[in-house]
Chains A and B, each alone.
Chain A
């Protein structure tokens, strides 16, 4: 082979190997750090993995917020209009966190099921609902409506 061509071939192969190794590494790292979003219904049905960090969003159920007397630990329930999920968190809650409002909690699932949240996010202004939560609420309400219609139809 012509030396110039051989050098070019080596260069191309080198770039190819290095870049595919890089892409492989990046995709691997990406998969390790993905946080999937689940609705409370999906978690209750057991569709969420237990060994990885997930996000769960919904409305904070009115009257469900409980505080510990001597620390910042809180417990509350999230709902998508169909099922409810307990969330436990220790730390400060965001400004706009309130009962009856949208919130997203991120953390790991424990037996119960209960979400041990290391982070709780609330919407950032009065008129905004996170799109995932809006979608989850709609799906939850529809599921409930369908179920109730089904129950009413077959007594």
Chain B
């Protein structure tokens, strides 16, 4: 009976989302306080119903109820309990239910935290999120019901979870990514609410900012985690493949990054309002596009496991309604006030605008490369795939340009900056960048211009960020006096920018100095690579809970001293799937990464050895960026101002410090 309760709760939640999407919206239009006040209890009720439904699906997994088709397809009696739990979002139906759960969570959070904001605005925001939820409820209930039964004869055992997904990374990756993806619906809903209300002041920017930051931080973590997972689980030793599914999460991140920066301009200076709203709309639209790409099965990709066209058509239609509707609304209502405040080219506004332009260009280039094969397929130009060289040849130079801008932009003040304030730091930054580009690559052996450019860019950002931090913290005349005056928003920016520097340095170093070799090895054989000696001891057979495995043993030494023993595996799961588990020794300066291939007969095995310097920095940089986003919202002004706001009047927040 439990799956039926879950299904019923899901249907009720769908109905409730319709009420949630309509009543507060009408209340805001016709100024009915009671209807608007319904937003909060409705949002909470919706969250509870979706959570009940989700818990029912989880219970079906925990109780091995293989009469439920989704459970039978994605679980197995022998699966450890934590993978049974994560199998809930291991495939199409369940991950959509997770999508809706996360969305209902964000909606309830906005409804509760927004008590101090103007009631009309919050009613509209929550209602817009309710309408998005309605779209996804229809999608779930009409095309992908997770509770569908296999009756009258249920299978005795399930087909097992895809072994690629039986992994810690896949327990946490989808929830984190969805927190980010779906979190972008909050700034979107704010933008729609602002457009509906036709408010012309820019107070909404301050309310929108913390939500955008949190969603963007989650998205950053989710992408970093996905890259890390692909690195250790797929066994290719790469950390980014320009796979359409990766791009699908990267595109909203790029526009989200642009949004985080343009919101700063809108909040502080009241400029770029229309642009900011447009970015909020497009960032969420790209989230939906990502969902469409991944979930409709239109891509030939490792990740796309759904191949039912009705689903694709539904998401495409939904995407059309959301994007078309919001752009129409934007065209009708976009803030048409002329920009009254000007700014010179030495102002922070100008450089943030340049940052936005670059990020939008990068987004367009990646979008083109991602959609082109689909377009070619639809128009019958042939089956095409776009290779990584296309993406790299644009992404790398544009990112370096962004790094150059970033260093300067963070130094500048609003409106205008005196040239004498800039000269010192810029000369110092340039000297540091030239020195590190010229010398640091020698640490890894041969000098290479790719690594030199990346390290120069990274140290340019690092030096200018630290110089600015030093200058601000010594502002009171004595060192460290100014530190206490620095605000959380500033610390967040410093952390995120240093994270960018670290990630760029890591990407440059690992792409330039990684070495790999595919070998035929017999037990007892040794091979030198990247300053290490890899000694192949042999292969034994071991058994896991739901697989048996051939496990290699490779002793790594450096100049005669033992470094580590690696145990790469080739697993065969009971469901029939085969998979390699790389043997990895992680380190701050380098990773050792070994993959066991097939048996070649006569005791020989195919083995791939990698030495990858700096690869950890990429993900550490990602974590720092996300941390920066979270630190920034701890800024006092988001709490204090909102409180004074509620006490005074909704429009008093225009006054700017």
Q: Footprint of B on A, CB under 8 Å?
A: 22, 26-27, 29-30, 32-37, 53, 55, 67, 70-72, 90-93, 95-97, 124-126, 128, 130-132
Tell me whether B520 and A125 are in contact (CB under 8 A). no
Q: How far is the CB of A129 from chain B (nearest CB, A)?
A: 11
Closest CB-CB distance, A51 to chain B, in whole Å?
A: 15
Contact A29 B577 (CB under 8 A): no
11 further A-B pairs in the complex, CB-CB below 8 A; given A29-B390, A67-B600: A30-B390, A35-B385, A72-B519, A93-B598, A93-B606, A95-B570, A95-B579, A126-B575, A130-B300, A131-B307, A132-B383
Contact between B394 and A26, CB atoms less than 8 A apart = yes
Within the complex, the shortest CB–CB distance from A116 to chain B, in Å, comes to 16
B368 close to A35 (CB less than 8 A): no
Q: Ordered nearest first, which 7 A-B pairs have the shortest CB separation? A: A37-B383, A33-B390, A92-B597, A91-B518, A33-B387, A95-B578, A126-B576
- In chain B, positions 269-308 with a C-beta closer than 8 Å to chain A are 300, 302, 305, 307
Contacts of A125 in B (CB 8 A): 162, 164, 577
> Quick check: A34 and B595 within 8 Å, CB to CB?
no
Which residue of the partner chain A has the closest CB to B576? A126
Nearest CB in chain B: distance from A138 CB, A = 14
Q: Say whether A92 contacts B606, CB under 8 Å.
A: yes
- Describe B's contact surface by its main secondary structure: mixed
Q: How far is the CB of B520 from chain A (nearest CB, A)?
A: 5
Q: Which B residues, 377 to 392, have Cβ-Cβ distances below 8 Å to chain A?
A: 382-387, 389-390
Inter-chain contacts of B343 with A (CB < 8 A):
none
Pair B382/A36 contact, Cβ less than 8 Å: yes
Known: A72-B520, A92-B595, A96-B578. A33 touches B606 (CB 8 A): no
With a cutoff of 8 Å between Cβ atoms, the chain A residues found around residue B162 in the complex are 125
Interchain CA distance A24-B219 in the complex, whole Å: 31
Contacts of B393 in A (CB 8 A): 29, 33
Interface centre among B305, B361, B369, B597, by most chain A C-beta atoms within 10 angstroms, is B597
* Complex Cα spacing A36 to B384, Å: 5
A132 to B606 Cα, complex, angstroms? 29
* A30-B383 CB under 8 A given contacts A92-B518, A95-B579, A96-B578: no
For the complex formed, measure the closest distance between the CB of B382 and the CB atoms of chain A, giving whole angstroms.
Answer: 5
Q: Which of B302, B368, B575, B578 contacts A30 (CB 8 A)?
A: B368
Residue-by-residue, is B510-523 near A (CB-CB < 8 Å gives 1, otherwise 0)? 00000000111000
Q: Is the CB of B520 within 8 A of A55?
A: no
B residues less than 8 Å from A95 (CB atoms): 235, 570, 578-580
Contacts of A33 in B (CB 8 A): 386-387, 389-390, 393
Does B365 sit within 8 A of A, measured CB to CB? yes
**CB–CB B520/A70 < 8 A:** yes
In this complex, the member of B361, B383, B598 whose beta carbon has the largest number of chain A beta carbons within 10 angstroms is B383
A55 to B598, CA, bound (A): 23
The closest CB in chain A to the CB of B73 belongs to A127
Choose one: B385, B519, B600; the contact of A37 (CB below 8 Å).
B385
Across-interface contacts of A72 in B (CB, < 8 A)? 518-520, 597, 600, 606
How distant is B45 from chain A, measured CB to nearest CB, in Å? Answer: 40
**Taking the complex as formed, is B372 at the interface, i.e. its CB lies under 8 A from any CB of chain A?**
yes
Q: How far is the CB of A11 from chain B (nearest CB, A)?
A: 13
Chain A: CB-nearest residue to B601: A67
Chain B residues positioned under 8 Å from A29 (CB to CB)? 390, 393-394
Q: B residues near A, CB below 8 A?
A: 162, 164, 235, 300, 302, 305, 307, 361, 364-365, 368-369, 372, 382-387, 389-390, 393-394, 518-520, 570, 575-580, 595, 597-598, 600-601, 606-608
* Docked complex Cα distance between A35 and B376 (Å): 12
What A residues does B607 contact at CB under 8 A?
92
Contacts of A53 in B (CB 8 A): 387
Q: Are A30 and B518 in contact (CB under 8 A)?
A: no
CA–CA, A92 and B606, complex, Å? 6
Q: How far is the CA of A93 from the CA of B162 in the complex (A)?
A: 20
Q: Which of B300, B364, B386, B597 is in CB contact (< 8 Å) with A132?
A: B300
Q: How far is the CB of B449 from chain A (nearest CB, A)?
A: 20
- A36: which B residues are within 8 A, CB to CB? 382-384
11 pairs, A vs B, C-beta closer than 8 Å: A27-B368, A29-B390, A53-B387, A72-B520, A91-B518, A92-B597, A92-B598, A93-B598, A93-B606, A125-B162, A126-B576
Shortest Cβ distance from A102 into chain B, in angstroms?
12
Closest residue to B597 on the A side, CB-wise? A92
Bound complex: CA A126 to CA B162 (Å): 10
* A124 and B307 alpha carbons, distance in the complex (Å): 15
Contacting residue for A124 out of B164, B389, B394, CB 8 A: B164
Q: Which residues of A contact B300 (CB under 8 A)?
A: 130-132
Cα–Cα, bound, A122→B575 (Å): 18
Identify the closest chain A residue to B577 (Cβ). A125
| B187–chain A nearest beta-carbon distance, Å | 26
**B587: shortest Cβ distance to chain A, in Å?**
24
Q: A92 touching B384 by the CB < 8 A rule?
A: no
Q: How far is the CB of B414 from chain A (nearest CB, A)?
A: 23
What distance in Å separates the Cβ of B168 from its nearest Cβ neighbour in chain A? 20
Of the candidates B390, B518, B520, B576, the one whose C-beta lies within 8 Å of that of A32 is B390
Chain A residues lying within 8 Å of B361, measured Cβ to Cβ, are 22
Of A91, A97, A124, chain B has the most CB atoms within 10 Å of the CB of A124
Contact B386 A124 (CB under 8 A): no
Q: How far is the CA of A7 from the CA of B652 in the complex (A)?
A: 35
Residues on the A chain within 8 Å of B385, using CB: 34-35, 37, 55
Bound CA span A71–B604, Å = 10
> Which of B384, B394, B570, B601 contacts A35, CB < 8 Å?
B384
B586 to chain A, nearest CB (A): 22
- Nearest chain B residue, comparing its CB with the CB of A25: B394
A35 proximity list for chain B (CB < 8 A): 384-387
**Cα of A55 to Cα of B302 in the assembled complex, Å:** 16
Give the complex CA separation of A29 and B369 in angstroms: 10
| A30-B386 CB under 8 A given contacts A71-B520, A130-B300 | yes
Q: Which chain B residues border A97 with CB–CB below 8 Å?
A: 598
Given A30-B369, A30-B390, A53-B387, A93 contacting B600 (CB threshold 8 A): no
Nearest Cβ on chain B to A49's Cβ, whole angstroms: 12
A29 to B397, CA, bound (A): 14
Residues of B within 8 A of A96 (CB): 577-578
Report yes or no: A26 in contact with B365, Cβ–Cβ below 8 A.
yes
- Tell me which residues across on chain B come within 8 A of A90, comparing CB atoms: 518
The CA of A93 and the CA of B575, in the complex, are separated in Å by: 21
Q: List the A residue with the shortest CB-CB distance to B570.
A: A95
Q: Tell me, rounded to whole Å, the shortest Cβ–Cβ distance linking B385 to chain A.
A: 5
Chain B residues positioned under 8 Å from A70 (CB to CB)? 520
**Residue of chain B at shortest CB distance from A126:** B576
Closest A residue, CB atoms, query B159 = A127
